[in-house]
A and B are shown apart, each in its own frame.
Chain A
Amino acid sequence: MADTESTRSWLLGCDMTPADRRKIWRFNALAFVWMAAFVAGSFVARRGEQPLLGWALAALTALLGIAVVAFYVRFLRSADELLRKIQLEALALAFGVGIIFMVTYRLCERLGAPSLDIADPMIVMVITWVVGQLIGARRYR
């Protein structure tokens, strides 16, 4: 039964079963590789000397992104049910804040605010997702 002994994750501030903890680490590792491919692709695209390599890295980034999402969905389906609830509430919060941010800033742009980079709403959503997880871990402590 050692596999189900719960341990506290310093990452999310909540207790997790060792199986969930291992999956979180695998998810983080996969997401890191995905981001590394994105950074490499951005670097090659900015230099503009090897367009073929740039397109290959863009395709690799997309494939790794799909792998990350597929892994996360599988993780959610198998996760401890309270952890799943915390994750889903955090995702709902991130989605809502992201939509509100995009809609509101779209209006601000029309009123003269500087244009946003496409990555900016994504950063807002990721930060909100992390904050949502911390809030959930605290709420159900």
Chain B
Amino acid sequence: MNNRLRVLRAERKWSQAELAERLGVSRQTVNAIETGKYDPSLPLAFGLARVFELRIEEIFDPTLEKTPA
């Protein structure tokens, strides 16, 4: 699933480690989601929505271009 995670994170000037800390996951998990290698579970997707104060569909969209690694 493609997503806007990298853009949203950059807008807030958060590092991957910082976002991981906010979500309670590893930095590798954030990186794998950003690069489209891993689709998060529903609870983690809701966690991302909460952290970014957005709706899930504003973060994840299958029609988006994949974020390059």
The yes or no verdict on A and B being binding partners is: yes
Taking Cβ atoms with an 8 Å cutoff, the residues of A that contact B are 1, 4-6, 14-17, 20, 80-83, 85, 137, 139-141
Residue of chain B at shortest CB distance from A140: B32
Most buried by B among A82, A83, A85, A140: A82
Most buried by B among A5, A6, A141: A6
CB pairs A–B below 8 angstroms (29 shown): A1-B22, A4-B21, A4-B25, A5-B17, A5-B21, A6-B20, A6-B21, A15-B20, A15-B26, A15-B27, A15-B28, A16-B26, A16-B28, A17-B24, A20-B26, A80-B25, A80-B26, A80-B29, A81-B25, A81-B29, A81-B40, A82-B25, A82-B26, A82-B29, A139-B37, A140-B31, A140-B38, A141-B28, A141-B31
User: Per DSSP, are chain A's interface residues mostly helix, strand or loop, or mixed?
Assistant: mixed
Enumerate chain B residues within 8 angstroms of A82, measured Cβ to Cβ.
Answer: 25-26, 28-29, 32, 38
B41 within 8 A of partner (CB):
yes
Residue of chain B at shortest CB distance from A15: B28
Enumerate chain B residues within 8 angstroms of A4, measured Cβ to Cβ.
Answer: 20-21, 23-25
Give the complex CA separation of A83 and B22 in angstroms: 18
B21 and A81 within 8 A (CB): no
Residue of chain A at shortest CB distance from B43: A81
**Distance in Å from the Cβ of B7 to the closest Cβ of chain A?**
21
B-side interface size class: 10 to 19
Give the complex CA separation of A139 and B28 in angstroms: 11
Residue of chain B at shortest CB distance from A1: B21
Most buried by A among B28, B38, B41, B44: B28
Q: Given A81-B25, A82-B28, A83-B29, list of 14 further CB < 8 A pairs?
A: A4-B21, A6-B20, A6-B25, A6-B28, A14-B26, A14-B28, A15-B28, A15-B29, A17-B24, A17-B25, A81-B44, A139-B37, A140-B32, A140-B37
